[in-house]
Each structure stands twice: as structure tokens, then as C-alpha cells.
Structure 1
Amino acid sequence: MRILIADDHPFTLQGTKSFIESYGHKVTDTCSNGISALNLIILHTPDVAILDINMPGLDGLDIARKIQESKLKTKVVLLTMHKEITIYRKASEYGIYGYILKEHAQTELEICLQEVQKGNRFVSAHLEDDLISDSIDSNDKLANLTLSERKIIELIAQQKTSKQIAQLLFLSERTVEGHRGNIIEKMGLVKEKNSLLKWAIQNIKS
């Protein structure tokens, strides 16, 4: 199979590439951000795209959604640290073919690729035990944020400016400001200077 790998951690990216090639698969492209990944998928239409979820630009879920919307033939396998059940369900809605936690990749990735090659879907055998229910108390408005908004509020908690966030996530500053406004609205915060920054520093764990 022709495979693309996208992960913003160089060590993980190289390790995954070497592991897959040792089983005789061809890695046609590697990249470290979601925008490059999507462009390469559109350009080369690999059989499989192995994607991390958290990446600059577009995250793995964004790419899976765009592949589904564009009816591309590339099959998505998510290789991730995320154990939240809502993220897994969202990935399933986007028609992914594999969902593997990185801690189990060494034993499961090759099995997953074998199943995907047959046209089957593969979900980690460990997933049921590892999934964390994030059905938080309804007062916790974080549950209403999108993955992109969560990434932005995490960076705000690190006291990054909108300009810095835009550069890190390959977005325009205007888009980041729009996200900030949406977050303030969803969190029910007072629309005053630095209210979101103060809330994020107090409530978001780095």
C-alpha cells in the first residue's frame, strides 16, 4: 500500500515511517502539519493516511472530514494519544478506517493496516478499556468547544497572543480572533479585556 504519515512530533513521525516500511509498505509522503497532509493527499491520493489528531493548521479530524466530503479514496487511520469518547465518536462519523492509541501502536498498527488493506475497519482492542468518558457536568462549558477552539484556548492559557496562535496553527489572525469571540460566547464570559486570558490561566491545565 502507498501510505502518507502526518505527525508534528519528528521522533514519532520517523519511528512510524521506519516501522511501516519494515513490513514492506511504501511511505510516499511524510509531513508535520495538517495543511501539507491534506494537500499531499489530494495530490497523490495515497491508499492510507496515518494521521495524528493534534497538528498545526488542520487537525486529523479536520482532514478526515474533508476527505469524506470530497469523496477521496484515501482511508484514514488515526494514531493518537486521545482517549476521549466524544473525539472517537466524531472520528467514526467521518468514516475513519482505524483508531489506534499510540501506546499500543507497536502491537496493533500492522494488524490495522492488514485489515484496512482488506477493506475492513480496525479499532484498537484496548480502546474500550482506555476510552475516557468526557460527559462532563453540563455546567462545564468546555464540552461545547470544538477541537480547534480547545487548541486555541490551551494556547491562550500559555499566554500566547492572537498573532502567535495564528502563526502556530497556520491561521489568519482574524480567524483566531473569530474563534476567541466564539469561545467567550460559549463560555458565557464577560466581554471585557483579558477575561478569556484570565479564565484560561485559571482553568486550563497545560
Structure 2
Amino acid sequence: MRILIADDHPFTLMGTKAFVESLGYKVEDVCSNGITAFNLISSHQPAVAILDINMPGMDGLEVLEKVYRLKLLTRVILLTMHKEMTIFRKANQWGVAGYILKENAQEELQKCIEIVKKGGQYISKNLENDLVIDTHSGSQNYPIERLTFTEKKVLELIAQQKTSKQIADMLFISEKTVEGHRTSIIQKLELPKEKNILLIWATRYFK
């Protein structure tokens, strides 16, 4: 069984690779950003892809969504530090095969791979207690769930009054990409085209 692993932290990437190989599996590809991960999944079609959620270029959820929409056969396991219910729901919506918190990975990854390769779904046994209910999930804030993980991160940084250049540097993307995210966020949240509208909205939302 061929496996791909993607994580933007080198030590986590190589540590996960070594662990998976110690279980007897063949790790065919490793990479550190979502765009490369998706391209490798498309071309090599590994049986399983183990992805970090927070990656430059394209986040793990976006890769998962593309795999789901294109009906690719690769099954996706997400390794993440994020415990927000909204992120888990979105992953489940896009057919995630495995969802594990990084803090539990050493105990659970082996069992997860075994279940996933048999066609099952594995959700971390600790997840039910660890998932954080989104305190902003009231009906008036529902549009926030339309945003991708990266767009939410951009919005959080806007709330911290970071400039597009600072956001680009922090997320390892270009300023042009940040501006594209800004435009997309405004459209998805159906905000009026007013000066500093994103800063005003984000500051209220993340207060």
C-alpha cells in the first residue's frame, strides 16, 4: 500500500514518515505544501494521503475537498492540532477517512491506517471530548462556515490588524494570494464593498 505524507513542519513530516515506515508501509511521497500534495495525489494516486491541515499553498481541507469532488480513490487522513467543531464538520462533509489530533497521533495512527485501508473511517477516540464547540456558530454568524481554513486564518490575522504583506509572510503565500482571499471572504460573507469592511467585521467577530 502506497502512502503520501504532507506537513509543512520538517520534523513532524520526517517523524511521521519514519513511524509509518516502521509499521511496514511504503511512503511513496513526502511534501510540505498542499499544492504539491494535491498534484502528487492526482498523478501517483496513493492509497492513503496523511495531511496536515495548516499548510501553505493549499490547506489540507482544500486538498480533501478536491479529492472528494474529483472522486479520486485516495483516502485522506487529516492530522491536526485544531479542535474546532466547524473544521471537523467540514472534513466529514468532504469524506475524510481519518481525523486525528497530533497530540494523539503516536497512539492512534497505526489503528487509523489499518481501519482506513479496509475502507472504514477512523475518528480519534479523544475527539468527542476535545472538540471545541464554535462559540460563534449562532445563526447570525453562519456564513463563517462557508470560508476555507486558510480564509479563516486570513480573517483572524485581519482582526489582529495585520497588513496583507504581514499575512502573506506569516502564511507563506504571496500578497496577491492574500488579496484574492480578501475578495473571496467579502463575497462569501456578503459584505458591502466599503473601505476597511473586513477589518470592521473581523474585529467584531473575533472580539
1:85 corresponds in structure 2 to 85
- Structure 2 counterpart of 1:115, which letter? I
C-alpha displacement of 1:60: 0.9
Cα distance change on mapping 1:43 and 1:163 into 2, 3 Å: farther
- What is the percent sequence identity of the aligned residues? 53
In 1, the alpha carbon distance for the partners of 2:65 and 2:145 equals 19
3-state SS in 2 of match to 1:8? coil
CA separation in 1, counterparts of 2:170 and 2:98?
30
Post-superposition CA distance 1:88-141 (Å, at most 9, x none):
111111111100000100000000011112121111111111111115245557
Residues 166-194 of structure 1, C-alpha deviations (whole Å, 9 max, x = no match):
99454671x533432343563857722x5
Structure 2 gaps, min length 5:
none
162, 180, 183: which is aligned to 1:181?
Answer: 183
Q: Secondary structure at the match of 1:29?
A: strand
Amino acid at match of 1:191: E
TM-score normalised by L of structure 1: 0.84
Matching residue of 2:69: 69
Deviations 1:60-88 (A, max 9, x none): 11111111111111100001111111211
Structure 1 CA distance for aligned equivalents of residues 15 and 172 of structure 2? 24
SS in 2 for 1:76: strand
8 A Cα contact 1:141 1:187, kept in partner? no
User: What one-letter code is carried by the residue in structure 2 that aligns with 1:101?
Assistant: L
Q: Does residue 165 of the first structure (1) align with residue 168 of the second (2)? A: yes
Length-normalised TM-score, structure 2: 0.83
Indicate if the aligned counterparts of 2:191 and 2:197 stay in contact, CA closer than 8 A: no
Partner of 2:102: 102
Inter-partner Cα distance in structure 2 for 1:44 and 1:107: 28
**Is residue 34–residue 63 contact of structure 2 (8 Å, CA) maintained in 1?**
yes
CA contact (8 A) 2:75 2:97 kept: yes
How does 1:114-153 map onto structure 2 within 5 Å?
Answer: 114-136=114-136, 137-138=138-139, 143-144=144-145, 146=147, 147-153=149-155
Alpha carbons of structure 1 residues 93 and 139: separation in structure 2 relative to 1, 3 Å: closer
Query: Which amino acid is 1:18 matched to?
Result: A
Runs (5+) with no aligned partner, structure 1:
none
Q: Distance in 2 between matches of 1:142 and 1:91?
A: 17
Q: Distance in 2 between matches of 1:40 and 1:182?
A: 27
Residues matched between the structures, number? 203
- Contact 1:3/1:49 (<8 A) preserved: yes
1:80 and 1:152 map into 2 onto residues whose CA distance is 18
Against the structure 1 CA distance between its residues 184 and 53, is the aligned structure 2 distance closer, same or farther, given a 3 Å change threshold? same
What displacement does 1:9 show? 1.1
